[in-house]
Structure 1
Amino acid sequence: MKFSSTRFGALEVSDRAILTFPSGILGFPDWSRYVILDHDTDAPFKWLHCVEESSLAFVVLDPVLFHANYRVEIPDEVLAEVKGTVADALTLAVILTIPSEDPGRITANLRGPLLMNPSTRLCKQMVLSDEYPTRYPIFSMPGACQPARAESQSEAIPA
């Protein structure tokens, strides 16, 4: 598939690389198809780029890289939406905010992680409890954010 990007110009990706968010991403419900692009081959940061809107892209990161204790509960209805089970190799990513005036103050939205099922290519942005911040500094002290323990019947998976 060919698509245009305001950041990277004309790009071509395999149809198999397309991730589908049937519910969209919060604030962007009209766009559901994205692809993950490398930011830099030596950096853990990735771009989640919309293939339907040339200017829509998010910097994403695996939350375990900066918050080893980050865990989320995945409700059964979310698993159904991505056609997955807790036994599947599901992955999580979080959207980052990088202030242009001070790029060292990067924050991560831990309250709205992106759940991805690599086998079905279906994804869902989850909305977690208020105990998770929407602007968690990724360069803060480890363990500064202490999420609540799982209490429901839903399975908890590490990010």
Structure 2
Amino acid sequence: MIGGILGDSDVIESLTGRNDYEEFTLLLLYDPPEENGPDRMPGPFTLSLAAFVFDRKYELVTQHSAPFEFDSSDRGPSDPELEETVDSLVSQGLVSPRKGDDDRPYDNISYKLTPKGEAEAAELYDSVSERVQGELADIRHSAVEEMSHFVLDAHTLGPDLFDEPLIRT
């Protein structure tokens, strides 16, 4: 992934040795200190939407594809490999899950990077362009703070992946 952003596909191997799914997921979960945002990302539903929105905007910004492959589900865009990746990052000690908020019924858990995960994500974050960093900050803020706007954004970017005209949470 990082190689695609920088225009050199060999860069990714020397940076983390992780696959694209893991790197994109770490970036989505990372809250850089200068952003001073929420330290947790709401769970599966919101993370899936964040990955979907980032996937679409990343391609617009970099002219490279992200690794995600979304299908329609009863809650909008879904990528089973993203869920497997989060579980793998949890088992590797890079991500910590916690019971989610009751006001988000689709997100029964939330995710936070561990110190080890944060260090890796910071390295990735520092290697992407400021424009990509800005997109990440906007997506993260919307996913956590402005859910209705965020769902509308996701629906606009992929209306064929939603079963309903607009999903409200």
Classify the TM-score, shorter chain.
Answer: under 0.3
TM-score (norm 1): 0.27
Task: Indicate the structure with greater helix content.
Answer: 2
TM-score (norm 2): 0.26
- Determine which structure has greater relative contact order: mean sequence separation of CA pairs < 8 Å that are 6+ residues apart, divided by chain length: 2
Task: Indicate the structure with greater strand content.
Answer: 1
